[in-house]
Each structure stands twice: as C-alpha cells, then as structure tokens.
Amino acid sequence: MFWNLIKLNLLFCLFALPSGALLAAGLFTPLGIAGMIFSIVLAFPIGGACCACMFCLSKMIRRDPGYLWFDFKRKFLENFKQAAAPGILCTLFIYVQVFLWLDLMNKGADIALIVAGVVTFIIFMMVAPYIFLQIAYIKLTTSQILGNSLLISFGNAGRSFASALGGSVVWAVFLLLLPGSMPFSPLLLVFGFSISWLLSLMCIWPPVDRQFSIEESLRRQREE
C-alpha cells in the first residue's frame, strides 16, 4: 500500500507542480504577477487529479482490488471537466493563504489576520475533500455537490474537523519546524499529498457512504 501512496503522490505532482512552480517564479523572480496569473491558468487539471486520487485512496480503504494507473487515468478523464472549476478555486484559495502568511512573516503578526487565516483554512479543509470525493462517485451538478459538501461537512462537524487536522498535519509539522525541516522537503513530493488525503478520507468516507450508499451501489454493480 505504501508504494501505491508514493505512486499516487507522484502522479498528482505531475499535474500540480507546473502551477506551483509558476507561483514560486511569480513570487521570487522578475516574472512577478504574470507568473502568478499563469499559475492559476495551469491549475485547470488539479481538480481532476484530486478526484482521481480520492477514488484510488477510497479503493485502498475499502480493500477493493484495482490497478492504480488504470483507475487514476479513468477517473481523471471522467471528472476532468466537472472538477476543473472547483480545482482552480481551491488552488486559488491555497495561493491566497500563501500570500497571507508570507505577508505576515514580512510585516509582523496581525492577530485579526492570523485568526481569519486559520479559521478560513480550517473551514476550507473541512469542506473541500467532500467536493472531490462526491465528484468521483456521485452524478450530480457541481452546484448540488457544493451544497451537499457544506451540509455533510457541518452536519458531521467532528469528523470533518478531524479530517481537516489529518489533511494538514504533515504540512503543519513541516512549516512549524522550518528552517530545520527543509532537508526533508523532497519527502513531501514523495508522499506528502497522498498521506494527507488518506488521513482525511478515513474520516469523511463513512458519512459520505452513509449519505449516498456508495458501497451498496458498487456491490450491486459487481453482482450484475
């Protein structure tokens, strides 16, 4: 399973790194604002990759046999269009958070901004996984999925908060230990995303499955 987590992480990085690299170029090179704008444009495949990762990880949790490369490709192609807008918006939110914390580091602590940043990030981490998990499994419009994600997230606030903590713990530890953690940064590209999503998915899968009877539907499909 651990090898599959590494492969899944590397697959996601193939889709996410071009956008992240342009963001870094915009922040730290003369490319400036143009790099930041193009980083958002290049985020269009990230949503599909998130859906594919959620699907593959949920199969691991359910111990459902499959072929990772095939499953990832199939789900990415199936959900690429619907997940593009949510993926871009989620990427934009993460980038805004990066700008916020870089600004706070440069200008000094502002309690109001720190609280706003932390609260909005927690809410985001509570809701976002439900969006991509539903797109991967449920045939609904994007607006319906967004509404369901809010309702299920806050209706299962304990699990959603645990999901937010699980999904951010690896990155939080890395950031809190900076600069001493920098030598370990390549490890984030190896399994940082997949481990975070796995911890998150273990918390949110039961309420989503209970709401939509996903496992029962899959079982009926296999029997047919």
Global pTM? 0.92
Sorted by sequence, the CB contacts under 8 Å of residue 186 that are 6+ apart come out as none
Within 10 Å of residue 95's Cβ, how many Cβ atoms? 19
Closest listed residue to residue 131, CA positions, set 208, 203, 63: 208
pLDDT at 224: 64
Task: Report which residue type is found at 106.
Answer: N
- pLDDT values of the chain reduced to their tens digit, one per residue, 224 residues: 788 999 999 999 999 999 988 888 887 787 778 878 888 989 999 999 999 999 999 999 988 887 899 999 999 999 999 999 999 999 999 988 888 877 777 776 678 888 888 899 999 999 999 999 999 999 999 999 999 999 999 999 999 999 999 999 888 887 777 677 778 888 888 889 999 999 999 999 999 999 999 988 878 877 76
Within 10 Å of residue 195's Cβ, how many Cβ atoms? 21
**Locate tokens 């984030």: which residue?**
188
Q: Where are the domains of the chain?
A: 2-223
Distances (CA, A) of 123 to 30, 65, 102, 199: 34, 33, 20, 17
- Cα separation, 157 vs 62, in Å, equals 23
